[in-house]
Amino acid sequence: MRFNLKHAALVAACAAAFPAHATNGYFLPGFGIRSQGMGGVGIAYGRDSLSTAANPANAVNTGMRGDMGMAVFNPERSAKVYESPASPTFGFFSGDVESDSKYFLVPEMGFSMGLTEQLHVSMAVVGNGGMNTNYPRNLFPGLGGPPPTPVDKGIGIDMMQLLVPISVAYKVNENHALGVSLVLAETRFRAYGIDTFKAFPILTDPTKLTDNGFDYSYGAGVKLGWQGEFMDDKLTLGLTYASRTYMTKFDKYSSLFAEQGDFDIPENYGIGIAIKPKKNLVIAADVLRINYNDIASVGNPGPGDDPAGAAQGIPAMDLAAIYGGCPAATNPYCLGGDQGMGFGWDNMTVYKLGVQYGVNNKLQVRAGYNYNKTPIPNNQVTFNTLAPATVEKHYSVGFTYRPNDELEVTGTYMYVAGNNQSRCGQNIVDCAEIGMHQNVFGLSMGWVLDPGPVALGEYGEDDWAGINFDGWYGGFNFGQSKYDVSATVDNTRTEGWKVYAGYEFNKYLGVEGGYVNLNDMTARTGTVRTEIDTDAWTLGAVVSYPVTAKLSVMGKLGGAFMLADIDTKNGAALTAKTGDDGFEPNYGVGVSYALFDNLNLRAEWERFDRKDLNIDLMSAGMVVKF
């Protein structure tokens, strides 16, 4: 099977267009959907080309292969600002708010091959992580301007970080391998709605703080890796070191980030171990250290506890020390200065554990656990309302199915448990609380030209004796849903996605069912805001007509059991919470293109006919045929 580099380039371009929302601080829990199914391990164990981003020495075991995948991150973020009896909130918004943006696509791709028996090369395009918040109500209104910031002006940030490690690995002898990567990096960032800070005389340049659109930063670093195999390949150890990645500065936000807009990627290093009690059972663990605190824009303290109060041994920025001293090049404590306010993050140690079992010669299953202590000290909650990286515990399951010798299909689900942090006595607001939990869904394809020295042995030896999958397929689409309502609307367009499976009786007729998430919309009538969150389970007939050998048009007709949660608010207060579930018609049209023998690209429009409103879903994705 031929790996098409034009298609790979297209996916790489897409990767630069979508933000991620990460879980180990702002880093992803692991490189590649396969790794994330094992808790993110990858230092001592990796079998696909994406694993070379975790340890370049993995390339000696990946063979010749190409990988493409897509993950959907579903972070649910919330923030709350309120006053204690001892102190007012200076007229700021007092209440809680949830971020609107809830789904993010994270594409990935990679390729690896051996040049000789000893020398191997690889390249990957992966999301390193990111942060996104999009609060519909401003947490800090009443100041800023002129004019003053209104409460209904949104506030948030949008940051995405992309890595392209180009790796070379050398097998020194039968048991040891070394690897090195040149890591190219791009970061995209914007901030909006934080005009309130303009009311304080703490800025180097008020025009480079907020609402300046996207800015881009570029840079490069180096990653080194080693792997050693012992005890007849039953034990593998690994080490990695990634240098600080030096990035160009964010000129549009040079008064927000310390060191005049600097936002380097922190140094990180780790150790890993993989044990194989039997050929088809792998138990792996990593420990990774990420030095967030060494990056001034991330690690410098932000507004927190009054320095005269209980700081728990953690310094907090004393705003009084810089009042009246900005803008002045001689004052490093101004926002944007070398000692300017940051997010106050600590360095982080991440612990990862994963298990993989080869059920038979076509199926592997895996599970994992990933833990890190939140990098945010409790006295640094105020700034981190914009970046609530509070989560600590991650649980994952996954599988790889091999329908033939040249194709692997991998899926992963990760649940990230919720965690909240709060603190009163902050410098700018009195009390602040932040929280987040996440879901991660991922699907990837691996085209295997040479499986490498060990990968096939990690499947089970028994023949597949399960279901005959001929005619079956599964797919995933991501796109935009639109609610058709008559009320005054805040937001009717939002992300939508679906996962589905079906069976083709022949090339003209099939049946398909799945789960559809239509996300939410907000409508306003006077001071009353109504938020509707909708998802659905679908089942229907699919009719296809092949226009060419690769291109088909399709139509769909069926039904959907729709579940709607409706929240009605008057101001910040929740006045009613109801549900509205029921069966509704579902129909649509689309096109399908056969990219490879087992992989189709699909684009479609669907209508969900509710009695009170219609919802349209425009989506595109890929279909895997088994």
DSSP letter at 303 equals: B
Q: Please report the pLDDT score of residue 307 as a whole number.
A: 45
How many CA atoms does the CB half-sphere of 610 hold within 13 Å? 21
**Radius of gyration of the chain, Cα coordinates, nearest whole angstrom:** 25
User: Which of 201, 141, 458, 169 lies closest to 327 in space, CA to CA?
Assistant: 201
Domain C-terminal end among 426, 458, 490 = 458
pLDDT tier at 382 (50, 70, 90 boundaries)?
A: confident
Total tally of structural domains belonging to the chain:
2
* CATH code for the domain in which residue 409 is found: 2.40.160.60
Output phi, psi for 253, to 5 deg: -125, 35
pLDDT score of 398 more than 90: yes
Q: Is the dihedral of CA 431, 393, 58, 121 positive or negative?
A: negative
pLDDT score of 268 more than 90: yes
pLDDT tier at 345 (50, 70, 90 boundaries)?
A: very high
* 146 and 169 belong to one structural domain: yes
Q: Please report the pLDDT score of residue 101 as a whole number.
A: 77
Determine the distance from the C-alpha atom of residue 412 to the mean position of all C-alpha atoms in its chain, rounded to a whole number: 13
> Do the domain assignments include residue 463?
no
Q: Please report the pLDDT score of residue 310 as a whole number.
A: 38
Q: In a 10 Å sphere around its CB, with 0-12 CB exposed, 13-18 middle and 19+ buried, how is residue 34 labelled?
A: buried
Q: Please report the pLDDT score of residue 368 as a whole number.
A: 98
> Do the domain assignments include residue 145?
yes
pLDDT digits (tens, 9 = 90+) for 556-614: 999 999 888 777 766 555 555 666 788 999 999 999 999 878 889 999 999 998 777 78
CB-based contact 182:222 (threshold 8 Å): yes
Give DSSP secondary structure letters for 577-609.
EEE--EEEEEEEEEEEEEEETTEEEEEEEEEEE
Q: Please report the pLDDT score of residue 553 as a whole number.
A: 97
Rounded Cα distance, 350 and 367, in Å: 17
Q: Please report the pLDDT score of residue 143 as a whole number.
A: 58
| pTM of the complete model | 0.83
* 207 and 283 belong to one structural domain: yes
Rounded Cα distance, 490 and 526, in Å: 12
CB-based contact 461:594 (threshold 8 Å): no
Q: Please report the pLDDT score of residue 428 as a whole number.
A: 61
* 437 and 573 belong to one structural domain: no
* 157 and 293 belong to one structural domain: yes
Question: 55: how many CB neighbours lie within 10 A of its CB?
Answer: 30
> Do the domain assignments include residue 442?
yes
pLDDT score of 135 more than 70: yes
> Do the domain assignments include residue 466?
no
Joined together, the tokens standing for residue 6 give 């034009």
DSSP letter at 520 equals: E
* 481 and 596 belong to one structural domain: yes
Domain C-terminal end among 458, 492, 520 = 458
Q: Is the dihedral of CA 211, 214, 219, 221 positive or negative?
A: positive
* 412 and 547 belong to one structural domain: no
Lowest mean pLDDT of 31-45, 167-181, 429-443, 539-553, name the range. 429-443
> Do the domain assignments include residue 465?
no
Output phi, psi for 76, to 5 deg: -110, 105
> Do the domain assignments include residue 485?
yes
pLDDT tier at 516 (50, 70, 90 boundaries)?
A: very high
* 237 and 137 belong to one structural domain: yes
* 19 and 120 belong to one structural domain: yes
Rounded Cα distance, 269 and 136, in Å: 38
Q: Please report the pLDDT score of residue 510 as a whole number.
A: 96
Q: Please report the pLDDT score of residue 20 as a whole number.
A: 47
Q: Please report the pLDDT score of residue 497 as a whole number.
A: 87
Element (H, E) at 298: helix 296-299
Q: Please report the pLDDT score of residue 246 as a whole number.
A: 97
* 401 and 500 belong to one structural domain: no
pLDDT score of 18 more than 90: no
Per-residue three-class SS string for 381-392: CCHHHCCCCCCC
Q: Please report the pLDDT score of residue 133 as a whole number.
A: 87
Length of the chain: 626
Q: Please report the pLDDT score of residue 94 as a whole number.
A: 60
* 510 and 600 belong to one structural domain: yes
> Do the domain assignments include residue 227?
yes
pLDDT digits (tens, 9 = 90+) for 279-338: 999 999 999 999 999 999 999 988 765 443 333 333 444 454 544 556 555 677 788 888
Output phi, psi for 74, to 5 deg: -120, 80
Average pLDDT along the chain: 85
Q: Structural domain of residue 358, as residue ranges?
A: 5-458
Does residue 375 have a cis peptide bond before it, meaning omega lies within 30 degrees of 0? no
Q: Please report the pLDDT score of residue 311 as a whole number.
A: 39
* CATH code for the domain in which residue 523 is found: 2.40.160.20
* 286 and 343 belong to one structural domain: yes
The residue that leads in pLDDT, 335 or 120, is: 120
Domain C-terminal end among 458, 480, 498 = 458
* 311 and 411 belong to one structural domain: yes
pLDDT score of 534 more than 50: yes
Q: Where are the alpha helices (DSSP H) in 106-174?
A: none
> Do the domain assignments include residue 148?
yes
CB-based contact 122:167 (threshold 8 Å): yes
